[in-house]
Amino acid sequence: MTVKEIVKLLKQNGSEHNRKGMARYGIKVDNAFGVSAPVIRSIAKEIGIKHELAKELWNCGVHEAHHIAALTADPKLTTKSMMNKWVRDLYSWDICDSTCSNLFRKTDYAIDMIFEWTDNKKEFVRRAGFSLIAFVAVHHKKRSDEEFLPFLALIVKHSNDERNMVKKAVNWALRQIGKRSMFLNREALDTAYQIKKFDSKSARWIASDAIRELTNEKIVARIKR
C-alpha cells in the first residue's frame, strides 16, 4: 500500500464518536480521523515491516499514521538521527507512548536516548525519555537490576517538573522500576520517600502515588513470585 491508500483507508475507518472520545482522554485530535486501536493494528499487520514507508507515513501529518509508522518501522534500521527527528515531532501523549513502546524500546539506542531525552526541556521529549524507562523496565527482561539505578537518579532530578505530561511519565517510570524485583522495589520506595520531602507538588504526588502502588500487598506478592 502507498501512503495515499493508507490515509484513505484510515479516513474510511474513522469515527467522530471516536474522535470525541480521544479528546476526552487528552489526545490532540486536530489531525485525527478517530480510528480505533484494533483497526490501526490490523492495518499495520497487513503492511508488515516497511521501513521507508513508515518514514513517509510519519511525515504525512495524519495522527493515526504516526501509530502505524511506529508499528511498521524496522528497529534495526532506526538510527539515532531518525529517533531524534521523530521525538521532536511529538505532540500528543498517545503518539509519544506508542512510539516508545512499539519502536524506540526495540532499538539499539534506547538507553542512550533515555539519558538524552530526560534532560531535554521540551515537554514531550522529556516525557518520551521517562516513557522509555517504563517500557524498558517492563520489556528488557535480561537487564540487571543495577542497570536501573541510574534511572532512579533521573527521577529524583526531574520529579519537580510540574508539567502534567512529564510528571505522569516520571511516576510511571518509578512504578515500573519498582515492580521488576524486590531489590528494585526497595530502591524505588527509597527514591519515593526521598522526593516526597521536596517542596514540589509534582514530586509529592509522584512519590505518594508510587508508594501506594509499590507497597500494595498484591503487587508485592506478585513481585516475589
Closest CA to 110 of 88, 90, 139: 139
Query: Residue 218 burial by CB count (10 A; 0-12/13-18/19+): exposed, middle or buried?
Result: exposed
What pLDDT is recorded for position 207? 98
Domain match, 144 and 40 both: no
Question: Which of 89, 110, 88, 112 has the alpha carbon at shortest distance from 100?
Answer: 110
53 and 91 fall within a common domain = no
Q: Are residues 171 and 61 both part of a single domain?
A: no
- Could you report the per-residue pLDDT of 179-218, keeping only the tens digit for each? 999 999 999 999 999 999 999 999 999 999 999 999 999 9
For 99-150, what is each residue's pLDDT tens digit?
999 999 999 999 999 999 999 999 999 999 999 999 999 999 999 999 999 9
Tell which of 73, 98, 120 closes a domain: 73
* CATH classification of the domain holding 169: 1.25.40.290
What is the rounded CA–CA span in Å between residue 101 and residue 88? Answer: 17
What pLDDT sits at residue 111?
Answer: 98
pLDDT, tens digit, for every residue of 9-30?
999 999 999 999 999 999 999 9
Q: Which residues contact 16 (CB under 8 A, 6 or more apart)?
A: 34
If asked whether residues 116 and 153 sit together in one domain, one would say: yes
Mean pLDDT computed over every residue of the chain: 97
Domain boundary among 73, 94, 123: 73
Q: What is the reported pLDDT for 166?
A: 98
- Domain end call among 24, 51, 73: 73
Contact 192/214 with Cβ under 8 angstroms?
yes
Structure confidence at residue 225 (pLDDT): 87
Question: So what's the pLDDT on residue 29?
Answer: 94
Based on the fold, state whether residues 157 and 117 are members of the same structural domain.
yes
Q: Are residues 192 and 120 in the same domain?
A: yes
Shared domain check, 185 and 103? yes
Does 139 share its domain with 213?
yes
- Give yes or no: residues 94 and 169 share one domain: yes
Mean pLDDT of 56-80: 97
Q: What is the pLDDT of residue 140?
A: 96
68 and 101 co-located in one domain: no
Going by C-alpha positions, the residue among 81, 24, 90, 18 that lies closest to residue 70 is 90
Within this chain, do residues 203 and 116 fall inside the same structural domain, yes or no? yes
pLDDT of residue 51: 98
pLDDT at res. 182? 97
Domain co-membership, 181 together with 128:
yes
Question: How many domains does the chain divide into?
Answer: 2
CA dist 101 and 167 (Å) reads 18
Average pLDDT over residues 64-90: 98
| pLDDT of 147 | 97
Asked if residue 65 has pLDDT above 90, the reply is yes
> What is the domain extent for residue 193?
79-225
The whole-number average pLDDT for the span 44-55 is 97
